[in-house]
Structure 1
């Protein structure tokens, strides 16, 4: 499979823009706006260029999936090192208020949505999009899990907790039942308008206009209630992948579309915990264990599917195709994790 993950570059803006137009809305981290994408690439380039000093800063890393035979960019994903530093990172958290009346001998439990910035300082994996023409052969898994190898290889750049926001329910007209039932009532703008504004300008307008008191779920429309914490149908597989990596849903939902926010301890993410650094003992392995294999630091990072065989002395043999695409040879160092 001649695909590899690598750092995004300026020349990737146009293919990223073309993919952004295919997302169908509700995809804040990949806006269909060239200026916004240019800003992301510029910010990412600065992060790649900064030497690691052990300090977690507000940085963004953009990766792209490249077909090494054609040079085409066919997917992308992003890593945010510390959310909530540039502007507040808002979520709704689902809570329950229990009240009891002795006169009525009745207990009432009311579910509420409370606006919170609890997740500030977390790292985030997001912005994952795979071109519809490539949604076979496990490339989505390569996109998703390559991010965890990047984190393992640059652990000092990331926080102790990591989150992933899943897109919520979007209806056939491109709107959000959750937005219409909650925030849309206060902002006088459609979900598409708010989503686009957030992608381009940030979410300070939420802080300015969003009511600070809890929202009682029972007072919402049925369509808004049933959307809370439910991923978009296209995100169900992503939710299962996150659960397999030890992420869990802890009651936090997106303030725009109500989609679930999945959270994990960074060092307990399976692909981070199980990844291994090793010196290459050979590059002509025939057979072996299927694995994700990565090499290079920061802007030189690249990751592919391949096969490996770990020896008792800790060295690793990899297959020739993976070595070719990665550009590595005997005695070089790679990181890997079982597929």
Structure 2
């Protein structure tokens, strides 16, 4: 089977809703709520229709589509500038060192401080692949298609980009981190808070969350052990982010304690190595495996294919990829090695 990444449309609401019901919670960017998802799709449509080549507060939604039967089997999102509609909160892990001359003892205490340091960054998120399609590198295609989209629309994105990974969720659908920290102040469980955040935003955090740092040593063992730890299903995603140049710099999600990965946008590997070339031929037999993409904004399409770069800087691609991307000799495509 062949797959293409394309811009999401209003008609994708039902397949996105069906996938959202499979996430298992803790997935704020893909809530199992039709109204919220419809709002995301409308916002994405507005972003795709905006041809102003400048940074603004926008959200793009992409979907993974089976070329043969047109079934939507995955999705991912790009937020161009977080923290514009409401504050973008994180906990930052810091260390406070204190020394007593009388006791001749130095004590180092780890703290969690509520911050908005990452406000203004771009964000890649909302990546979900249908459980039946988690093979053949489709997760990698979804993830890296976002970086090609950024490279192709570079002025629409900030100087730094972040990715939030879902934290540890227990077998009951609860969060040990939430129970040990914020849950004590809000009178609601993790699932209720997570759903409320997905639908209404996180202003309630600013309203009710204590502003003083939290001493990690005062948390229970269950909460401490999951700080900065990704959900088991997100470990591969964390490795992919690290391979792209993202790093964990001590920021964690305020709900589930999952790690926030950060990179300079121009230093993300797939952004830095992506290049636009004119297509010289669309009948390539054997070639280097690569991600291929074309089209601006709503016309964006991305797939796996074969490429061969000529001495003159042009690119030859295989016929199947050319058909998926709707390109012919003389058109241009962006590519990055797989």
**Correspondence 1:131-146 to 2 at 5 A:** 131-146=130-145
Q: Normalising by the residue count of structure 2, what TM-score does the alignment of the two structures yield?
A: 1.00
**RMSD of the TM alignment (CA)?**
0.5
**Correspondence 1:75-114 to 2 at 5 A:** 75-114=74-113
Matched with 1:292 is 291
Matched with 2:315 is 316
Matched with 1:258 is 257
Counterpart-to-counterpart distance in 2, 1:291 and 1:212:
47
How far 1:241 sits from its partner (Å)?
A: 0.1
Matched with 1:187 is 186
Q: Normalising by the residue count of structure 1, what TM-score does the alignment of the two structures yield?
A: 0.99
Matched with 2:9 is 9
How far 1:2 sits from its partner (Å)?
A: 1.2
Counterpart-to-counterpart distance in 2, 1:311 and 1:264:
32
Matched with 1:24 is 24
Counterpart-to-counterpart distance in 2, 1:13 and 1:68:
18
1:323 aligned counterpart, secondary structure: helix
Matched with 2:247 is 248
Counterpart-to-counterpart distance in 1, 2:323 and 2:13:
26
How far 1:190 sits from its partner (Å)?
A: 0.4
**Correspondence 1:65-80 to 2 at 5 A:** 65-80=64-79
Matched with 2:152 is 153
Counterpart-to-counterpart distance in 2, 1:274 and 1:111:
38
CA contact (8 A) 1:294 1:303 kept: yes
How far 1:52 sits from its partner (Å)?
A: 2.5
**Correspondence 1:144-293 to 2 at 5 A:** 144-293=143-292
CA contact (8 A) 1:64 1:74 kept: yes
How far 1:312 sits from its partner (Å)?
A: 1.5
How far 1:317 sits from its partner (Å)?
A: 0.2
2:185 aligned counterpart, secondary structure: helix
How far 1:196 sits from its partner (Å)?
A: 0.1
The total of aligned residue pairs comes to 338
Q: Deviations over 1:75-96 (max 9, x none)?
A: 0000000000010000000000
Matched with 1:52 is 52
Matched with 1:36 is 36
Counterpart-to-counterpart distance in 2, 1:219 and 1:23:
31
Counterpart-to-counterpart distance in 2, 1:309 and 1:147:
23
Q: Deviations over 1:92-150 (max 9, x none)?
A: 00000000011111100000000000000000000000000000000000000000000
Q: Deviations over 1:243-289 (max 9, x none)?
A: 00000000000000000000000000000000010000000001110
Detail structure 1 runs of 4+ shifted over 4 Å in the superposition. none
1:218 aligned counterpart, secondary structure: helix
CA contact (8 A) 1:52 1:156 kept: no
